[in-house]
Structure 1
């Protein structure tokens, strides 16, 4: 698997930056490790805004089109259903964009119960989900539907 010659973007939320910055770092490191020389990072206010930014990146023609996009964020659970609704809507929007444009949009958005779970998944005990999302993006950027 290689990212050489491929163009990637990371779209990250500013909300819960103490976690998201680690996800961005993990994704960027993994892309570089696999040979990517073009990695853009775009910061948006929160996870709700990620699909709008992804759509803008998928529709742009200059410079060259991207091969894959990695969405990273952290939606912490609270006392209400807000986090579940937000995560479901963002997930559906990103899936719809993948299907509409035929370009991979990798999911690196955490939905933990608490800050400690978020940090565990951003490079502590449970690995780095940004890194894992980057690996999925690299693999899908190289996907060949031919047998």
Structure 2
């Protein structure tokens, strides 16, 4: 038997995607800064022109899950971080949006096997959101820590389970885990040089 745990070292080969809702950007940009600070301090190159982190901006939190799922389907990333802010108003709109966003982000991870971190603040007031995005603490840091830990953990599991499957069945199970970051096989071009339409076509071809 074995014990598996994510680590916060050897991050130079990890790949991340950040999906950020533009609505309530006073909050989401602060969460993004917290994420970047954490990733950078743990050895990740956060430069958009680099090879480790891609950034995707969407109109609001409701649009985050569908884009996160599309990115996860590409299997280019070790983890995806979803950032948004939904603030309660005078109508039931808050409940509908926050509930569907949470379900959608969870489904993106379940359906693809790629860690998708829920980093969408759901608060009663703007003040509460700002307190969680830098005034008192910045939860963006915690979201990035979760992504690093889960990304390294999933690599360990794929390696261990892949080796075990190969040992038990040499008839093709050795392909387990191919197409994921960290695998020796080649990958499609970076998202920086491809639009989401191209990404969708590649994902469909992989299916």
Per the normalisation by structure 2, the TM-score is: 0.66
Aligned to 1:110: 121
1:59 CA displacement: 2.1
Provide the rounded CA distance (Å) in 1 between the counterparts of 2:125 and 2:134. Answer: 15
Q: Could you say which structure has the greater relative contact order, defined with CA pairs below 8 angstroms and 6 or more residues apart? A: 1
For residues 88-117 of structure 1, the C-alpha deviation after alignment (integer angstroms, 9 at most, x for no partner) is 111111111101111111111101111111
User: Any unmatched runs of 5+ in structure 1?
Assistant: none
Residues in 1 aligned to 2:110 and 2:70: alpha-carbon distance in whole angstroms: 15
2:14 to 6, 12, 37: 6
Kindly state the Cα deviation for residue 14 of structure 1 after the two structures are TM-superposed.
0.4
Separation in 2, partners of 1:137, 1:109: 14
Provide, for residues 41-98 of structure 1, a one-character-per-residue CA deviation record: whole Å limited to 9, x for no partner: 110000010011112211236xxx1110000000001112211211111111111110
| Residues 28 and 39 in structure 1, CA contact (< 8 A), matched pair in contact too | no
1:142 aligns with 2:152: yes
Q: Contact (CA 8 Å) 2:30, 2:133: kept in 1 or not?
A: yes
Q: Do residues 17 (structure 1) and 25 (structure 2) align?
A: yes
Partner of 1:56: 70
TM-score after normalising by structure 1: 0.91
**Residue 41 (structure 2) aligns with:** 33
Equivalent residues, number: 143
Q: Within the alignment, does 1:79 sit opposite 2:87 as a pair?
A: no
Alpha-carbon distance, 1:135 to partner: 0.5
Structure with max Cα Rg: 2
Gap regions ≥5 residues in structure 2: 1-7, 46-51, 161-207
Q: Does residue 46 of structure 1 match 2:75?
A: no
Does the aligned pair in 1 maintain the 2:69–2:109 contact within 8 Å? no
**Within 2, Cα distance between the matches of 1:101 and 1:14?**
25
Trace 1:89-128 onto structure 2 (pairs within 5 A): 89-125=100-136, 127-128=137-138
Secondary structure of 2:124's match?
Answer: coil
State the secondary structure of the residue aligned to 2:134: strand
Structure 1 runs of 4+ aligned residues shifted over 3 Å read none
Q: Counterpart of 2:81? A: 70
CA RMSD of aligned residues (A): 1.5
